Amino acid sequence: MTDTTSSSEHGGVAALRRVLVLNKAMLFAIVLAIGLALTSPYFLMQQNLVALLEQIVVMTIVALGYTLILATGEIDLSLGGVIALVGVVMAKLMVDYSLPMEVAILLGMVLGAGCGALNAFLTTRFNLPSFIVTLATGALFTGVLYIISNLVPVSNLPPEFLAISRTRIGPFPLPVILLIPVVIGFYVLATKTVFGQHVIALGGNPEAVRVAGINVERLRLKVFMIAGACYAVAAVLLTARSASAQIAAGSNLLLLVITAVVIGGTALMGGKASIIGTVFGCLILGMISNGMNLLGVNANYQIVVQGLLILFALVLDVESTKMLLRLDKRSMLRRRQSGDTK
């Protein structure tokens, strides 16, 4: 009888633990989708759902790279400057220098990764907080952007470049289709590779990673370069969508991306990350924006909602972690008591 009761209690604890570990963003997204479907008859229409997915593509790609940065315990405030700079440079290469689209995009990717490499180098070489470094480099990138562009957007882009955002496969725009392999790639990278394990370990305990013989500087460099490449991809999609390279492109993405990543379960202090959670975090923000538009709510309130969501995600993360620790302690005590009884 005692063994049966103990087994039942242990099973209940395990079930509760699985619920707590299960991605909270996924559950929130499902509840939000049901609520919007009941509130607005237009939410589940195919046209609206496709528009919703198209709306979150750029944010999701940037957020995937940003997830790795936060997982290492770092932060990147230069995001907007990199996106705008890469967009203008690519556009000028195609318009002013008549470079083929493929070459311009490749050079833009190199520039984005290079900006990330600069952030990593300054952070590690001079042992400076990434918060300060990326605040400074963000201003640097924006200043270079202003000099290159003379504060004038670059237009008259070639038709083949604009086709990136206008091509459709069935009902879906090409960027939505391309997002699928990108998400799969990041999921595999973060969860199935040694690199992903090292990234999480670096955010959790940097000194232990050094003692283990892992090159922390090189690891941080790779993470920032991957994120920079993601910013470059975002620049491509934003420029193609707007048919011009805008000076302020990406300026509103920083808060959105941090919100999505934190909602998704990645810890701001590092040591914990969820790629799937990040995707659902972006979906949640997209649904909130989409739902507010459908319901006729003033768009200015969306920023307030984002701030509240960050606070909610942080509190939920802290409280669920505390509960997990309590459950683990209880489970250990029960096992010890069971062993003493035997």
For 217-235, write each residue's pLDDT tens digit. Answer: 999 999 999 999 999 999 9
Model confidence at 339, pLDDT cuts 50, 70, 90, reads low
Query: Does residue 275 contact residue 185 with C-beta atoms inside 8 Å?
Result: no
What mean pLDDT comes out for the span 304-309?
A: 79
- Is a pLDDT exceeding 50 seen at residue 289? yes
H or E segment to which residue 172 belongs: strand 172-173
Average pLDDT over residues 105-111: 98
Dump the DSSP string for 82-128. HHHHHHHHHHHHHHTS---HHHHHHHHHHHHHHHHHHHHHHHHHTT-
Listed in sequence order, the residues at least 6 apart from 312 whose beta carbon sits closer than 8 Å to its beta carbon are 263
* pLDDT given for residue 317 in this prediction: 67
Evaluate if residue 331 carries a pLDDT over 80.
no
Q: For residue 269, what pLDDT band results from cuts at 50, 70 and 90?
A: confident
CA-closest candidate to residue 71, choices 314, 279, 267, 224: 267
pLDDT of 124 above 70: yes
Question: What is the pLDDT, as a whole number, of residue 305?
Answer: 80
From the number of C-beta atoms within 10 Å of its C-beta (0-12, 13-18, 19+), residue 332 rates as exposed
SS3 169: strand
Categorize the per-residue pLDDT at 108 as very low, low, confident or very high, splitting at 50, 70 and 90. very high
Tell me, what's the pLDDT at 324?
Answer: 67
Mean pLDDT value across residues 242-256: 93
Of the candidates 111, 91, 103, 107, the one whose C-alpha atom is nearest the C-alpha of residue 242 is 91
Query: Is residue 168 within a helix (H) or strand (E), and if so which, with residue range?
Result: strand 168-169
CA distance 159 to 168: 15
Among the listed residues 273, 313, 205, the one whose alpha carbon sits nearest the alpha carbon of residue 64: 273
| Structural domains of the chain sorted by starting position, each given as residue range(s) with its CATH number in brackets | 20-327 (1.10.3470)
